[in-house]
């Protein structure tokens, strides 16, 4: 009898501890494209890593938020269209947005980050130039779908902080290809500026602060560095992304571990500035 009571007491204590731990768990939900899951190139192609900005941001905040856990729902190749409608990655709810809404409604979420839009526009750039018709389509899609994405997230998240980011320009690396590459690099920076303004305008409507990753990557800084004879933005891109890596790892638009850490720093600065009294 005593043995049975002892086992029952231990079971009750275990269940109580488990329920208490579950009640204290809270989540950082990372949404978006390949950057949200830390994609980097490997000998076998692009793969998710634990060196993405979401991983770095989680490490930075888990000491400040008791019970914090990280859930990454990002999808490599995701556009604003597919994030809402599905079609690239497989989700039980049909799309990343639907999956995110279901997760938010069934878990305690303390923070949501999002990066989306790069795959809408990146394929518009090639060594032959910028496809303006493609850019127009990308702008139309982002203008239509990003508000729907944010509306769905805000409706389910309520007052939970949602923080977004703008984009650096990986194609500025074309500068090293000579005069034609330098012309292309300048043109892609202009296109990136315009695209980031579009993203910023949409995020502002939904009161979503934006981490200025473009500024962190010195995207507009064409100042030549003495002796190296390359602009600051080109050096940063070649140093913090895989654009300057030899095949089969490069050229690749994704950040390396250092680049992801810089992005995480931009997010952290934005989040901190929003929570200051």
- The model's pLDDT over 41-71, given as tens digits with 9 standing for 90+, comes to 999 899 999 999 999 999 999 999 999 999 9
Q: Would 109 be classed as within a structural domain? A: yes
Three-state DSSP string of 251-275: CEEEECHHHHHHHHHHHHHHHHHHH
Query: How many CB atoms sit inside 10 A of residue 69's CB?
Result: 16
Q: Would 39 be classed as within a structural domain? A: yes
Token representation of residue 264 = 């995480």
Summarize the confidence of residues 197-209 as an average pLDDT.
98
Give the pLDDT of residue 37: 98
Domains of the chain: total: 1
pLDDT at 117 over 90: yes
Q: Would 46 be classed as within a structural domain? A: yes
Reduced to 3 states, what is the DSSP secondary structure of residue 86?
coil
pLDDT at 15 over 60: no
Q: Would 247 be classed as within a structural domain? A: no
- The model's pLDDT over 138-186, given as tens digits with 9 standing for 90+, comes to 999 999 999 999 999 999 999 999 999 999 999 999 999 999 999 999 9
Q: Would 49 be classed as within a structural domain? A: yes
- The model's pLDDT over 235-251, given as tens digits with 9 standing for 90+, comes to 999 999 999 999 999 99
* Inter-residue contact 40 to 254 (CB < 8 Å): yes
pLDDT at 12 over 80: no
Its domain, for residue 109, covers 26-170+195-218+256-275
Q: Would 204 be classed as within a structural domain? A: yes
| Averaged confidence pLDDT in the chain | 91
Give the pLDDT of residue 20: 40
Give the pLDDT of residue 275: 61
* Residue 77, domain CATH: 3.40.50.1110
* Inter-residue contact 18 to 25 (CB < 8 Å): no
- pTM (two decimals): 0.90
Separation of alpha carbons 122 and 103, rounded Å: 29
Give the pLDDT of residue 276: 53
Separation of alpha carbons 86 and 67, rounded Å: 31
Q: Would 93 be classed as within a structural domain? A: yes
Q: Would 228 be classed as within a structural domain? A: no
Closest alpha carbon to 55 in 260, 231, 218, 212: 260
């Amino acid at each position: 009898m005593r043995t049975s009571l002892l086992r029952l007491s231990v079971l009750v204590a275990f269940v109580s501890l488990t329920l208490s731990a579950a009640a204290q768990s809270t989540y950082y939900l990372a949404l978006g494209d390949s950057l949200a899951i830390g994609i980097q190139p490997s000998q076998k192609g692009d793969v998710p890593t634990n060196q993405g900005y979401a991983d770095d941001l989680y490490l930075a905040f888990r000491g400040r938020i008791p019970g914090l856990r990280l859930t990454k729902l990002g999808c490599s190749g995701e556009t604003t269209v597919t994030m809402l409608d599905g079609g690239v990655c497989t989700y039980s709810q049909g799309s990343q947005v639907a999956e995110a809404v279901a997760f938010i409604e069934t878990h305690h979420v303390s923070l949501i980050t999002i990066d989306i839009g790069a795959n809408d526009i990146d394929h518009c750039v090639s060594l032959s130039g910028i496809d303006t018709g493609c850019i127009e389509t990308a702008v139309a899609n982002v203008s239509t779908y990003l508000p729907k994405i944010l509306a769905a997230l805000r409706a389910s998240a309520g007052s939970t902080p949602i923080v977004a980011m703008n984009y650096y320009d990986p194609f500025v690396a074309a500068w090293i290809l000579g005069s034609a590459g330098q012309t292309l690099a300048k043109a892609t920076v202009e296109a990136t500026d315009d695209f980031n303004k579009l993203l910023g305008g949409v995020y502002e409507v939904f009161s979503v602060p934006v981490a200025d990753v473009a500024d962190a990557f010195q995207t507009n800084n064409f100042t030549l560095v003495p002796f190296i004879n390359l602009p600051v933005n080109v050096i940063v891109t070649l140093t913090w992304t895989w654009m300057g890596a030899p095949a089969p790892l490069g050229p690749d638009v994704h950040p390396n571990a250092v680049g992801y850490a810089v992005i995480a720093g931009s997010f952290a600065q934005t989040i901190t500035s929003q929570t200051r009294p």
